[in-house]
Amino acid sequence: MRLIIKNRILSCCLYGLVLGANCSAQNWQPINSHDEYNYFTTPAFSSASIIKTESVGLNGSDSVFYLNRVVTSIPGNANHKLLRQGQFLGKMVIQRSNGLVTFMGNKDFTLNVTAGAGASWIFDTLRGSVATVLVVKYDTIFGQHDSLKVIGVSNYDTLVLSKQYGLISFRDSSSSQIYSLKGIQSRNLGYHVPEYGNIYNFNIGDVFEYRKHYTAYEYSTGVDESDYLHWKLTITSKTINGNQLSYVANKIESDTLWNLSNSTHTTQHFSGIVQLTFTDTASNYLNGFNQQYILAGDTNCTSYGVPTGVNSVEKVLEYEYNTLFQTEMKSHRSEYLTPASGDTVSTDNYFTNDNHQTERQSSAQYGNGTGLVYYHFSFEYVPINSYTTDIWLEGCVKGGITYGHITADSILLSGVHEGVHLSHYLVYPSLLTGEDLLHINGSGIPCQVSIYNSEGRMILSTRLFNSGETETDLNPGTLAKGIYFIKLQDRSGVFFSTKFIKN
C-alpha cells in the first residue's frame, strides 16, 4: 500500500513538473501584450471578438495594456455610431505586481490571478460584486494539459482562467453572452482568423469566374456607355516569395461594350496567359479585426466639394460567412463621418453639397481562399459625369469542388453578347441601403422578374409591365442584408440578369 501511494505521489509530482514546464507561457495572466486572441460568442464567424494590445505603457510599477477598439451601432439610431469603443474586456488592462489585474471600459472589473481555491476579492467596486475561485482543476486546452481556475462572481458572471493560455471563457451576465477562446493567432493555436495571405492563397487547378459591369454617363455630351466583362481564370502555377504570392493563370474573357445612346454594341474576346501578384503588408486592412474602423482621411473628398465637417472616410471591417462559396468572408463598406459629440459621429453612405455633387459609398467582400467576392463603387459628380462599377465572383472550383456557376470555355468564346437586354430593361441601384427601392425601367414589354439569394434559392417571382408601363419599383425592405441576383425575361426569351446588394 505504501509503495502504491509513493508511486502515485511520484506520478503526480512528475505530472506537475511537466505541466509547469508547459504552462509557463502566461503564468495565469489573462492576456499577454504580444498575443492576439480570437474569442467567439457563437459558432458564426460574424460573432468573433479579436482582442489584442495596440500599445503598452507604465504607471509607476504597473504595466498598462491599451486594447484594440471597435465601432459600434447605437440602438434605435441608425444614422449615428460610436467610435473607439472597447470590447468585452474593455479599453485597457492594468497589470499589477501583487497579482491584481484590472480591466477598464464600460464595465471595470478586477481579477486576482494569484488567488487559490476558495479565495475571494472585490470584482467590481462600483457594483459591489465579489469574485471567488470555485475550483482549481486540470483540463486539455489546444491539445495540451493545463491548470484552470473557475471563478464565480456574485453578479452571475463566470470566468475560466488558464495558466498557459489566459482567459478562456467569460460569461458576461449583463449581455448574456459567453465569450470562448477559440484560438491564439500569434501562437498558431486553435482557430486562425483568415488574413490577407489566406484570402489570396490559391492552389494549382483552382478556377475563378468573374463578371464586371461598368456604366458611365457624360452630362456634357450625353454619351451613355455600359461595359460587360465576363472572364475565367484557371491557376496553372504558384510561387511564394516572402510576403508575396504570385500565380500564372489561363484567362478567357468576353467583353461587350454598349453605347446606350444608340443601342449599339461591340464584343471582343481574349484567351491567353496572365500573371497575378498579391503582396501582403502588416498595415493591410484585410489583416484587421472584426468591426475595426479605418479612417481614410479626406483624400477623395475635398477636391469634390465635400460639405464642411465631413472630413473623413471610414471603412468598417466586418466578418461574415458566405454560404454560396462556403467560406469565411471579410467585408468593408465606406461611409462619410460628421463629428457629433465625443465618440459619437453621424454617418452616411453618400454626401450632397451645395452644387448637388454626390458620391456613394464603396463596398467589397473577400473570401478565405477565394479572393475578391464582390466589389461595388458608384460616383456622381454633377454636372460632369457619373459611373458605377460592380465586380462579383460568379463561381469557383476549389479542391475539385464547384461552387456557384462555371461557364464552359466554348460558351465564353462563342460570341455571346452580355447585356442584349439593355434596349428593353434597366435595373438600379446595385447597392441598396435603408429604405431604398429597386427601380426597373422598361419599354412597356411584359416580363417575368425573379430574385434569387446567394444560395440560388428563388425568393420572389412576379410579372411586370403588363399594362404598357415603362417603369416600376420593387420594395426590398423585407429582404435580409446580403447579395441577391435579379433576372428579367420577356416572352421572346431575351433575359437580363444582374446582381444587387442589400445593406
| 3-state SS string for 309-361 | CCCEEEEEEEEEEECCCCEEEEEEEEEEEEEEECCEEEEECEEECCCCCEEEE
For 266, what's the count of Cα atoms within 13 Å in the CB-facing half-sphere?
Answer: 2
Residue 80 pLDDT > 90 = no
Q: Is the pLDDT of residue 123 over 90?
A: yes
**414-436: average pLDDT:** 62
71 and 87 together in one domain: yes
> 302 pLDDT band (50/70/90 cuts)?
very low
Q: Which residue has the higher pLDDT, 80 or 269?
A: 269
Looking at the predicted structure, is the pLDDT value of residue 422 above 50? no
Cell triple for 349: 453612405
Q: Which of 359, 377, 412 is the last residue of a domain?
A: 412
Per-residue pLDDT reduced to its tens digit, 245-281: 999 999 999 888 877 666 667 888 899 999 999 999 9
Cβ atoms of residues 167 and 30 within 8 Å: yes
Is the overall model pTM greater than 0.85, yes or no? no
Mean pLDDT of 77-101: 90
Does a structural domain hold residue 10? no
Residue 434 placed within a domain: yes
Provide the CA 495 distance to its chain's centre, in angstroms: 33
Question: How far apart (Å, rounded) are the C-alpha atoms in residues 101 and 95?
Answer: 5
Shared-domain flag, residues 379 and 311: yes
| Average pLDDT value for residue range 84-113 | 94
Q: Which of 250, 237, 241, 251 is nearest to 203 (CA)?
A: 237
Whether residue 3 lies inside any domain: the answer is no
Where is 293: in which H helix or E strand?
Answer: strand 292-295
The arithmetic mean of pLDDT across residues 431-459, rounded, is 74
What is residue 3's predicted lDDT score, i.e. its pLDDT? 33
Whether 393 maps to a domain, the answer reads: yes
d(CA 207, CA 236): 10
Within-domain flag for 95:
yes
Same domain membership, residue 155 and residue 222? no
Q: Are 328 and 317 in contact (CB under 8 A)?
A: no
| 461 and 351 part of one domain | no
In sequence order, the 6+-apart residues with CB closer than 8 A to the CB of 173 are 153, 155, 156, 157
6 in any annotated domain: no
* Tens digits of residue pLDDT in 281-299: 988 889 999 998 876 544 4
Domain that residue 406 falls in: 197-412
**How wide is the angle at C-alpha 60 spanned by C-alphas 56 and 64, nearest 5°?**
25
Express each pLDDT in 374-418 by its tens digit.
988 877 776 677 778 889 998 999 999 999 888 888 888 875 445
Contacting residues for 447 by C-beta, under 8 A, at least 6 apart: 424, 425, 463, 464, 465, 488, 489, 490
SS3 304: helix
Please name the amino acid found at residue 429. P
Is there a contact between 323 and 483 (Cβ–Cβ < 8 Å)? no
| CATH number (domain holding residue 31) | 2.40.360
The C-alpha atoms of residue 318 and residue 373 are separated, in whole angstroms, by 14
Judgement on whether residues 257 and 145 belong to the same structural domain of the protein: no
206 and 164 housed in the same domain: no
Of 153, 168, 190, the residue at which a domain comes to its end is: 190
Residues in the chain: 503
| Residue 9 covered by a domain | no
431 and 491 together in one domain: yes
Domain membership of residue 295 (yes or no) is: yes
* Same domain, yes or no: 397 and 349: yes
DSSP label at 480? Answer: P
Name the domain count of the chain: 3
Task: Tell me which of 136, 156, 190 is where a domain ends.
Answer: 190
Q: Does 39 share its domain with 184?
A: yes
Q: What is the pLDDT of residues 145-183, one digit of tens each?
A: 999 999 999 988 899 999 999 999 999 887 889 999 999
Q: Are residues 392 and 277 in the same domain?
A: yes
- Which of 320, 411, 406 is CA-nearest to residue 368? 320
pLDDT of residue 423: 44
**C-alpha span between 133 and 470 (Å, rounded):** 72
Residues 261 and 342 in one domain: yes
The closest of 52, 370, 371 to 183, measured between CA atoms, is: 52
User: Do 402 and 474 lie in a common domain?
Assistant: no
What distance in Å separates the CA atoms of residue 15 and residue 21, rounded to the nearest whole number?
10
Q: What mean pLDDT value characterizes the chain?
A: 81
CATH of the domain at 424: 2.60.40.1220
More confident residue, 461 or 421: 461
Neighbours of 450 (CB within 10 A): 16
